[in-house]
Structure 1
Amino acid sequence: MGEEYLLLGDIPLDFQKVLMRAFVPYSVGLARVSQDDPKLFTALGSGTLVRKGTHIGVLSAQHCLTACSPRIRVGPSGKDSLLLILRDARGVQLPPEDLIEHKLVSPLSVEYGPDLVFVEIAPSERLAGILAVASVWSLDRDPNEILKQFGGVGSMIASLGIPEELCRTRLNGNAFHRSSFHLTVSHVIEDESITVRDGWDYIDNKCVYPKSSALPQSFAGFSGGGIWSVQVQRSKNTGKLSTGKAALVGASFYETPIENNIRYVRGHFIRSIYDLAWRNFERSQR
Structure 2
Amino acid sequence: METDEVGQLLEARLGRCTVGWVKLEQTKASSLGSGTLIKYRSVLGVITCGHVVEVLKELDEFGLCFFPVRPSEYQRLKFKRNVVEFFQIGEDYKSHPYHGPDLGFVKIPLEYEEDIKLHSVVLNMDIQSDEYQRVGYQTPSTSVLCGVVDERTTPGPQKSNYGVTTFNGLINIGNITDRYSIYDYDYLKFQPLPGPDGKLPSSFAGTSGGGFWNICFTQAGDGIKFSKRLFSGVAFAEMKDSESVTILTHGPISIYEKLLPMIRERWL
CA radius of gyration, larger in: 1
Computed over aligned residues only, the root mean square deviation of the Cα atoms, in angstroms, reads 2.7
The aligned counterpart of 1:178 is: 165
Equivalent position of 1:39 in the other structure:
27
101, 104, 107: which is aligned to 1:114? Answer: 101
8 Å contact from structure 2 (residues 21, 62) kept in 1: no
Which residue, 231, 252, 258 being the options, matches 1:270?
Answer: 252
Q: Report deviation, 1:163.
A: 0.3
**Does structure 1 residue 73 correspond to structure 2 residue 57?**
yes
Q: Give, in whole Å, the separation in 1 of the partners of 2:132 and 2:139.
A: 13
> What's the secondary structure of 2:89's corresponding residue?
coil
Amino acid at match of 1:246: R
5+ long unaligned stretches in structure 1:
1-10
Amino acid in the other structure paired with 1:179: T
Q: How high is the sequence identity, in percent, across the aligned residues?
A: 20
Q: Which residue of 2 is the match for residue 85 of structure 1?
A: 66
Task: For 2:67 and 2:194, locate their aligned partners in 1 and report how far apart those are by CA, in whole Å.
Answer: 28
Q: What is the CA distance between 1:243 and its match in structure 2? A: 2.6
Q: Which residue of 1 aligns with 2:113?
A: 127
Pairing 1:130-209 to 2, within 5 Å after superposition: 130-140=116-126, 145-146=131-132, 149=135, 151-170=137-156, 171-189=158-176, 192-208=177-193
Question: Does the residue aligned with 2:20 lie in a helix, a strand or coil?
Answer: strand
> How far does residue 200 in structure 1 lie from its aligned partner after superposition?
0.3
Distance 2:204 2:117 in 1: 28
Query: Conserved in 1, the CA contact under 8 Å of 2:11 and 2:68?
Result: no
- Cα deviation code 1:121-163 (max 9, x no counterpart): 1133x43111233221233357585277473235321111110
2:230 partner SS: strand
Q: 1:24 — aligned with what?
A: 15
Deviation string, structure 1 residues 239-258 (Cα, Å, up to 9, x no partner): x2333321211111111113
The 1-side partners of 2:60 and 2:36 are apart by: 23
Distance 1:16 1:40, change over 3 A: closer
| Structure 2: stretches of 5+ with no match in the other structure | none
1:103 aligns with 2:90: no
Say if 1:179 and 1:143 are closer, same or farther in 2 by CA, change over 3 A.
same
Q: Deviations over 1:25-51 (max 9, x none)?
A: 1111110225xxx33533101110011
Contact 1:167-1:179 at 8 Å conserved across structures: yes
SS at match of 1:87: coil
Quote the Cα distance in structure 2 between the aligned partners of 1:148 and 1:194.
Answer: 21
Is 1:57 aligned to 2:48, yes or no? no
Match of 1:284 in 2: 266
Q: CA separation in 1, counterparts of 2:210 and 2:43?
A: 19
The total of aligned residue pairs comes to 259
- Taking structure 2 as the reference length, the TM-score comes to 0.84
Query: Compared with structure 1, are the counterparts of its residues 17 and 150 closer, same or farther at alpha carbon in structure 2 (3 Å cutoff)?
Result: farther
Which position in structure 2 is the counterpart of 1:4?
Answer: none
| Structure 1 residue 276 displacement after superposition | 0.8
Letter in 2 for 1:62: G
